[in-house]
Structure 1
């Protein structure tokens, strides 16, 4: 399956999420927020973000050693860590760099905007695609610590291995396409244009008046 773009993927996911119309929709910046906005619009739900960042391998930054998230969350990616075997110092240094970048993004995204409450609520957690699942693991850790009631993971594309692992962390998964061999998330989109912070902020402002 080739998806037109992130917004189209979000609309298709929304049709499969009608039973969760009372939930809050949280996107993973940046591309995941575009998908999440399309879902939130169809469901009439509030939109927010969960801030996470991938911790890349030193010589192969596209590979996730793990991820950092809000509230001090740090998770490792066991399969990649076993392969690269970075020292604790190298991992800690890489995580600290991503933590600093995350805090800068938080200052911009959270300015004059309160975090959507999730305690006891159904949360629809959205990304534009999953490769290893490290950032989603960090996001679920953040949400569990904040007391989320039910976590529904909604993604357009993900490999079966990642979904099997993530199914242990969330309550439900809705995924449009599950390719056995996924070289990159972009291969499943006709348009996978880069998403900037300004676009994310514009979407968040658009949903600022939706009741929590």
Structure 2
């Protein structure tokens, strides 16, 4: 198993994202499990940390099938093809959207407490999770980041199957993934400790990031963050850097 826990995974990812430090990025973790990973990246890159809260709009009679998604800042993404094929009416869509907007706002308030959402307009947004299985939620998160104005969207995950990364190329400008196993059953199999992240832990990490965000001059005179050595060999086939795509 390559990762001890999410903290270890985040620190290893940070090594491969160091080239983005000068880009003044914003690090966005998918709650809940992506936030501990994102916290380590944000600390290493001297970057602000936030959550990216998204909600899928499921077809009323088939909730697992997404007919769209919403994000903060009144971002709304609708799949017209799914609407047409399923026959969902505008009224039904509006009802689902209203319900999911209430839940999205509740979760955003829960995680941030009284802090406003970070503005990503014109910025490099590093979207982080603790792993990718199908990539559907991550796809929505990247689209939301783009709709919120991010100029450059970077996928950063410890592990994901190659086919999921391929599907995400259309919504990302760059991808950094440490492990891309051909045989993939579950994210948890790549961690020794995959204990569920609590809401309280997310809140505490965001608060801590707010209060202790280091600066190159004061915290680290050399300009480099104190990243621990990793025993993981660096292989080109485990790190994917994609050129900008037309999205």
TM-score, normalised relative to structure 2: 0.72
Say whether the 8 Å CA contact 1:68–1:135 is kept in structure 2: no
Match of 2:205 among 198, 203, 206: 203
Say whether the 8 Å CA contact 1:160–1:178 is kept in structure 2: yes
Structure-2 residue corresponding to 1:26 = 28
Go from structure 1 to structure 2 and tell me whether the alpha carbon gap of 1:2 and 1:54 turns closer, same or farther (over 3 Å shift).
Answer: farther
Gaps of 5+ in 1: none
Counterpart mapping for 1:176-187 below 5 A: 176-187=178-189
Offset, 1:53: 3.6
Match of 2:40 among 30, 38, 45: 38
SS of structure 1 residue aligned to 2:156: strand
Distance 2:194 2:78 in 1: 27
Counterpart mapping for 1:82-97 below 5 A: 88=88, 92=93, 97=99
Offset, 1:87: 6.1
Structure-1 residue corresponding to 2:13 = 13
SS of structure 1 residue aligned to 2:210: coil
Match of 2:165 among 128, 144, 163: 163
Offset, 1:73: 3.0
SS of structure 2 residue aligned to 1:117: coil
Offset, 1:162: 1.2
Distance 1:86 1:177 in 2: 37
SS of structure 2 residue aligned to 1:165: helix
Establish whether residue 111 from structure 1 lines up as the match of residue 101 from structure 2: no
Distance 2:57 2:178 in 1: 26
Offset, 1:161: 1.2
Structure-1 residue corresponding to 2:124 = 122
Structure-1 residue corresponding to 2:154 = 152
SS of structure 2 residue aligned to 1:26: strand
